[in-house]
């Protein structure tokens, strides 16, 4: 008889789909009670949730060639991203990854540090002390402007606005499609798909214009688009316009909301942990003393990095990922069949007390040089792992550190009265009710406790 992993009780027809859809994050946490590998059924389709670093490592790294990106991911994302490196597989993916990866080499991306801080400062100039701000939106606007500039050198307001508006609608519609069970095919002319088509067409026209301008002028603007256009294969061949478009949109799509979400959760956590915030301020005072941070400051901003890492442990922007088996394989003692789906439970693993003692406590010291070594291997994977590890991870860490340092030098953010906070699984792990916060200028800020004490005198 075929060995099968433990499985929770499911609906006779729909299997585990109703419980999974009702509250995916709670479901993912609960799955850990059943074992390291848990068998599920979505309607007639078998799936497995993976809850242990070793089995996850097996899928993402050791036997990565036995798996492809899952059909659900592809069905939803391909209409937008085409055949870019997020959605493609096999030899095609390998070739494209080789062409794209050098653009993200540390030396190359260092050139973007000044863009990041100057855009962060521009946004801060619009913040008024005492104002209530939707910090999640502020972070999304900021990272969108940064990626528009670093990817396309786009600065013309009309272009940036068009990209911003179209990509927000595309991402919203893509989220809606992810939440449809089963996914409604892209060719069906329903409202979501019609909106999606219109906005993808706008983005395509704009990106094609950028490509045409570059090809005509031959100018190297030092942005990612110039690098994609110049990237050559071993045999000297370059990408077609369609492929450059797909990779550009892939980088655009994957490269801003994730970082915005990471920063949003970090502001929230700092607002709840004054002792961590104070230590962060101490580091900023020591390393920067009020200067705008630069690339050279990054190695000195160690605590800033520990804060971001710990924030992405508790609230991993990519809360999970999936793979589909392409040829019969084995996971521990269990045989997996072609087309079975596996869920990599990043959210569950990052909150598992077997790997992170006192897992719900926000403690950046877990990532201090001494203690980080004691985190079990492969238990912390906000950027994934193996050959498909996030191609933009160094860019994202640089961006998050520079933005956090630039903002935290000037402002503190406290949670707005009445703001409810709960993570929600969309394509990324978003705050379900948004994240309204109150802006306080650092130098004039009077802590709430003092104000209350003063009032009582
Ligand atoms: C905090 C920010 C970010 C997080 C948490 C994040 C997370 C991830 C994860 C978990 C994966 C692997 C998905 C899988 O294995 O199925 C991934 C892949 C990817 N990420 Fe990121 N990412 C971030 C920022 C970025 C940025 C800034 C860029 C580009 C500018 C980017 C571009 C990509 C691309 C292109 C892939 C697909 C790589 C491939 O399959 O070869 N990401 N990301």
- What's the 254 CA to ligand 1 centre distance in angstroms? 6
Counted domains in the chain: 1
Taking the C-alpha atoms of 225, 229, 231 and 236 in order, what is their torsion angle to the nearest 10 degrees? 180
Most ligand 1 atoms within 8 A of CB, residue of 94, 258, 260, 397 to mutate: 258
Distance 259 CA to ligand 1 centre (A): 10
Rounded Cα distance, 196 and 80, in Å:
8
pLDDT at 93 over 60: yes
Residue bearing the bigger pLDDT, 449 or 374: 374
Residue 9 zone, left/alpha/beta (φ > 0; ψ -120 to 50; rest): beta
Confirm whether 5 is domain-assigned.
no
Rounded to an integer, the average pLDDT of 28-56 is 95
Q: At what angle do helices 302-314 and 257-272 cross, to 10 degrees?
A: 100
Is there a contact between 214 and 221 (Cβ–Cβ < 8 Å)?
yes
Residue with the smallest CA separation from ligand 1 atom 30 is: 255
Q: Between 166 and 31, whose confidence is greater?
A: 31
Relative to the CA of 224, which ligand 1 atom is closest? 30
Q: What is the pLDDT of residue 154?
A: 78
Contact assessment for residue 216 and residue 241, using Cβ atoms and an 8 Å cutoff: no
Q: Which of 416, 449, 62, 101 is nearest to 268 (CA)?
A: 416
pLDDT of residue 218: 83
pLDDT 10s digits, 295-313 = 999 999 999 999 999 999 9
| Distance (Å) from CA 130 to ligand 1 centroid | 35
List the beta bridge partners of residue 414: 438
Q: Which of 90, 260, 392 to mutate for ligand 1's pocket (most ligand atoms within 8 Å of CB)?
A: 392
CA-to-CA dists, residue 283 to 13, 76, 299, 308, angstroms: 56, 43, 12, 14
Check if the beta carbon of residue 74 is closer than 8 Å to that of residue 63: no
Specify if 4 maps to a domain.
Answer: no
Phi, psi (rounded to 5 degrees) for 249: -65, -35
Q: Cβ(11)–Cβ(41) under 8 Å?
A: no
Domain contains 263: yes
Which of 101, 131, 194 is CA-nearest to residue 388?
101
Distance 84 CA to ligand 1 centre (A): 12
Confidence of residue 47 (pLDDT cuts 50, 70, 90): very high
Which range of residues forms the domain containing residue 217? 17-456
Render pLDDT for 411-441 as a digit per residue (tens, 0 to 9).
Answer: 999 999 999 999 999 889 999 999 999 999 9
Nearest to 151 by CA among 107, 97, 115: 115
Distance, CA of 215 to chain centre: 31
Pick the most confident of 120-124, 214-218, 223-227: 120-124
Nearest CA to ligand 1 atom 17: 390
Task: Give me the percent of the chain exceeding a pLDDT of 70.
Answer: 95
Q: What is the pLDDT of residue 176?
A: 76
Average pLDDT rounded to a whole number, residues 10-30: 92
* Lowest pLDDT segment from 111-125, 270-284, 435-449: 435-449
In a domain, 61, yes or no: yes
Averaged pLDDT, 94-120: 91
Report CA(383)–ligand 1 centroid distance (Å).
Answer: 6
Residue 49 three-state SS: strand
Of the two residues 332 and 79, the one the predictor is more confident about is 332
Confidence (pLDDT) at 445: 42
Cα of 392 from ligand 1 centre, angstroms: 6
Say which range, 150-154, 283-287, 382-386, has the weakest mean pLDDT.
Answer: 150-154
Whether the predicted pLDDT of 446 surpasses 80: no
Q: Is the dihedral of CA 157, 158, 162, 168 positive or negative?
A: positive
CA atoms 60, 350, 140, 181: torsion sign: positive
Binning pLDDT at 50, 70 and 90, where does residue 181 land? low
Judge whether residue 444 has pLDDT over 50: no
Atom of ligand 1 nearest to the CA of 389: 12
Pair of tokens at residue 271: 């607002």
CB–CB of 210/160 below 8 Å?
A: no
Q: Does residue 292 form part of some domain? A: yes
Structure tokens at 79: 């209409």
Q: Which residue has the higher pLDDT, 432 or 21?
A: 432
The CA 247 to ligand 1 mean position distance, Å, reads 13
Is 107 a domain residue? Answer: yes
Residue 1: pLDDT band with limits 50, 70, 90: low
Which ligand 1 atom is at minimum distance from the Cα of 247? 35
pLDDT at 452: 44
Q: How far apart are CA 51 and CA 33, in angstroms?
A: 10
Cα–ligand 1 centroid distance for 384 (angstroms): 8
When pLDDT is averaged across residues 268-289 and rounded to a whole number, the result is 96
* 85: helix, strand or coil: coil
Closest residue by Cα to atom 2, ligand 1, is 259
Q: Position of tokens 């991306």?
A: 109
Q: Where does ligand 1 bind, in terms of residues with CB under 6 Å?
A: 85-86, 97, 250-251, 254-255, 258-259, 262, 317-318, 321, 382-384, 388, 390-392, 395-396
Residue nearest to atom 3 of ligand 1 (CA): 258
Distance between Cα 250 and ligand 1 center (Å): 10
430's enclosing H/E stretch is strand 429-431
For atom 9 of ligand 1, the residue with the nearest CA is 383
Dist. CA 389 → ligand 1 center (Å): 7
Structural domain contains residue 388? yes
Residue 384 CA: which ligand 1 atom is closest?
Answer: 10
Between the CA of 390 and the centroid of ligand 1 the distance, in Å, is: 4
Query: Residue 99: which CATH number?
Result: 1.10.630.10
What lies within 8 Å, CB to CB, of 236 at 6+ separation is none
Domain assignment present for 3: no
């Amino acid at each position: 008889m075929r060995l099968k992993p433990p499985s929770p009780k499911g609906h006779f027809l729909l299997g585990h789909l109703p419980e999974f859809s009702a509250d995916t994050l709670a479901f993912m946490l609960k799955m850990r009670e059943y074992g390291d590998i848990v068998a599920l059924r979505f309607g007639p389709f078998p799936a497995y949730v993976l809850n242990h670093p070793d089995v996850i490592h097996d899928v993402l790294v050791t036997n990565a060639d036995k798996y492809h990106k899952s059909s659900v991911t592809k069905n939803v994302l391909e209409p937008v991203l085409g055949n870019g490196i997020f959605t493609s597989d096999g030899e095609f993916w390998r070739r494209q990854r080789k062409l794209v990866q050098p653009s993200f080499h540390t030396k190359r991306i260092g050139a973007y540090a000044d863009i990041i801080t100057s855009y962060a400062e521009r946004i801060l100039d619009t913040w008024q002390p005492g104002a209530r701000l939707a910090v999640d939106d502020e972070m999304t606007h900021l990272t969108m402007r940064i990626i528009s500039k670093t990817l396309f050198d786009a600065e013309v307001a009309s272009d940036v606005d068009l990209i911003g508006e179209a990509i927000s609608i595309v991402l919203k519609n893509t989220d809606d499609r992810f939440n449809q069970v089963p996914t409604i095919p892209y060719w069906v002319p329903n409202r979501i798909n019609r909106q999606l088509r219109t906005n993808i067409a706008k983005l395509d026209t704009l990106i094609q214009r950028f490509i045409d301008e570059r090809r005509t002028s031959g100018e190297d603007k030092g942005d990612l688009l110039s690098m994609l256009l110049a990237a050559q294969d071993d045999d000297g061949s370059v990408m077609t316009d369609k492929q450059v478009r797909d990779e550009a949109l892939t980088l655009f799509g994957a490269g801003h909301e994730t970082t915005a979400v990471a920063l949003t959760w970090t502001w929230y956590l700092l607002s709840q942990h004054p002792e961590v915030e104070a230590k962060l301020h101490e580091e900023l005072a020591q390393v920067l003393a009020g200067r705008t941070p630069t690339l050279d400051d990054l190695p000195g901003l160690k605590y800033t990095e520990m804060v971001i890492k710990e924030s992405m442990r508790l609230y991993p922007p990519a809360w999970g990922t999936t793979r589909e088996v392409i040829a019969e394989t084995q996971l521990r003692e269990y045989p997996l069949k072609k087309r079975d789906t596996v869920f990599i439970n990043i959210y569950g693993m990052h909150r598992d007390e077997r790997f992170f003692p006192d897992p719900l406590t926000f403690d950046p010291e877990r990532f201090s040089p001494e203690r980080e070594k004691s985190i079990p291997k492969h238990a912390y994977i906000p950027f994934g792992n193996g050959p498909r590890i996030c191609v933009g991870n160094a860019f994202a860490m640089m961006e998050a550190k520079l933005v956090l340092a630039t903002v935290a030098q000037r402002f503190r953010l406290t949670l707005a009265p009445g703001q409810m906070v709960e993570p929600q699984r969309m394509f990324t792990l978003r705050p379900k009710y948004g994240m309204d916060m109150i802006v306080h200028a650092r130098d004039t800020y009077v802590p709430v406790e003092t104000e209350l004490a003063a009032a009582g005198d």
